[in-house]
Amino acid sequence: MDKIWLIIQREYLTRVRKKSFLVMTLLAPLIMAGFIVVPIMLAQISENKKVVAVADAGNIFAGELPNDPDSDIRYVPAASTDLATAKAAFRKSKQAALLYIPRYDVNNPTGFRIFARDNLSMPMQIAMERMLNRKIEAARMRQAGLDKDVLDKIKADVDLQTVNLSENGEKASSTGVTTGVAYAAAFLIYMFIFIYGVQIMRGVIEEKTNRIVEVVISSVKPFQLMMGKVMGIAAVGLTQLLLWIVLSTAVTSGLAGVFGAEKVVAARTGQLSAPATVDAAGAAGPAQVGTAATPTKKKESAAARFQQSFSAGLASLNLPLILGSFLFYFLGGYLFYGALFGAIGSAVDNETDTQQFMLPITMPLILTIIIAQSVIIRDPNGTVAFWMSMIPFTSPIAMMMRIPFGAVPGWQLLLSMSLLIAGFVFTIWLAGRIYRVGILMYGKKVNYRELSRWMFYKG
Tens of pLDDT along 5-54? 888 888 888 888 888 888 888 887 778 777 766 766 666 665 567 888 89
Sheet strands (E) in 110-220: 113-115, 162-166, 169-173
Let me know: does 400 contact 406? Beta carbons within 8 Å. no
- Mean pLDDT calculated for residue range 251-278: 57
H helix runs in 68-112, sequence order: 83-92
Lowest-confidence segment of 80-89, 289-298, 311-320, 436-445 by average pLDDT:
289-298
Residue 204: C-alpha distances to residues 208, 229, 233, 401 (Å): 6, 9, 12, 32
- Asked if 389 and 398 count as a contact pair (C-beta separation under 8 A), the reply is yes
| Contact of 225 with 366, CB cutoff 8 Å | no
Question: Residue 118: what pLDDT?
Answer: 78
Is the pLDDT higher at 154 or at 185?
A: 185
Percent of the chain with pLDDT over 70: 80
Q: Please state which of the ranges 250-264, 289-303, 396-410 shows the lowest mean pLDDT.
A: 289-303
Domain architecture of the chain: domains with CATH: 49-154 (3.40.190.10), 175-252+313-456 (no CATH)
Give the Å distances, CA to CA, from 224 to 202, 330, 428, 432, 459. Answer: 18, 22, 11, 9, 15
Question: pTM higher than 0.85, yes or no?
Answer: no
pLDDT digits (tens, 9 = 90+) for 298-313: 555 666 666 677 777 7
Task: Please indicate whether residue 80 or residue 159 has the higher confidence score (pLDDT).
Answer: 80
- Is 354:344 a contact under the CB 8 Å cutoff? yes
What's the pLDDT at 289? 41
Whether pLDDT at 96 is above 50: yes
The tens digit of pLDDT for each residue in 164-187 reads 666 666 666 677 788 888 888 888
- Supply the pLDDT for residue 266: 57
* CA 387/CA 382 separation, integer angstroms: 9
Alpha helix segments (H runs only) across 210-318: 212-216, 222-259, 261-269, 275-283, 294-316
How far apart CA 302 and CA 309 sit, in angstroms, is 10
Query: Can you tell me the mean pLDDT for 84-93?
Result: 88
DSSP 220: S
| Predicted pLDDT of residue 288 | 43
Per-residue pLDDT for 276 more than 50?
A: no
pLDDT tens string 231-243:
888 888 888 888 8
Please list, in sequence order, all residues whose beta carbon lies within 8 angstroms of the beta carbon of residue 114, skipping any fewer than 6 positions away.
Answer: 97, 98, 99, 100, 120, 125, 128
pLDDT of residue 64: 82
Instruction: Supply the mean pLDDT for the chain.
Output: 78
What pLDDT score does 279 carry? Answer: 43
